[in-house]
Amino acid sequence: NFGDNNAELQKRVVTEVLNGDKRICLAISEPFAGSDVANIRTTAEKTPDGKYYIVNGAKKWITNATFSDYFVTAVRTGGKGMGGISLLLIERSEGLETKKIHTAYSPAAGTGYVTFENVKVPVENLLGKENRGFQCVMYNFNHERWLIVVGVLRGTRPCVGE
């Protein structure tokens, strides 16, 4: 959900991704916080004119990072803990760099380390409400984890059947 104020952004991005013209990834995990979303360190501070967020920080183990055009990114816009987390749609741009992480599970996954150095993001790219992103991330994780369980159970069926 892109939020009520993002219909134009949603139409553009979803169309580009579904047409295969652009790729997108979810950038949550960090080098020092892992998947502990409430303790992420990547920051997004508004510019004095309120038109942009300036994003600084790093993400690690991000699937599809090396070839994505868009990064749905958990950032700290408020105080400590889960109440200070927001989600931004960040387009690949100046100051955003990705580095491939070599993994044993799938070289095709494009798993990477992402750095944000003074990346300028329009405030219109806020997904949902400011400081309410934690709930969105947890909602998404619940679905992701359910799909992982289903996949693992399906993969074990031949073993149990033998």
The set of residues, in sequence order, having a beta carbon less than 8 Å from that of 11 and lying 6+ positions away, is: none
Helix (H) or strand (E) holding 15: helix 7-18
162 assigned to active site: no
Q: Give 33's Cβ-side CA count (13 Å radius).
A: 21
Q: Left (φ > 0), alpha (ψ -120 to 50) or beta: where does 81 sit?
A: left
Instruction: Give the C-alpha separation, 77 to 54, whole Å.
Output: 10
Q: Of these residues, 8, 45, 124, 144, which one is catalytic?
A: 144
Instruction: Give the C-alpha separation, 117 to 96, whole Å.
Output: 6
| Amino acid identity for residue 61 in this structure | W
Instruction: Give the C-alpha separation, 75 to 59, whole Å.
Output: 10
Q: Any idea which residues carry the catalytic annotation?
A: 144
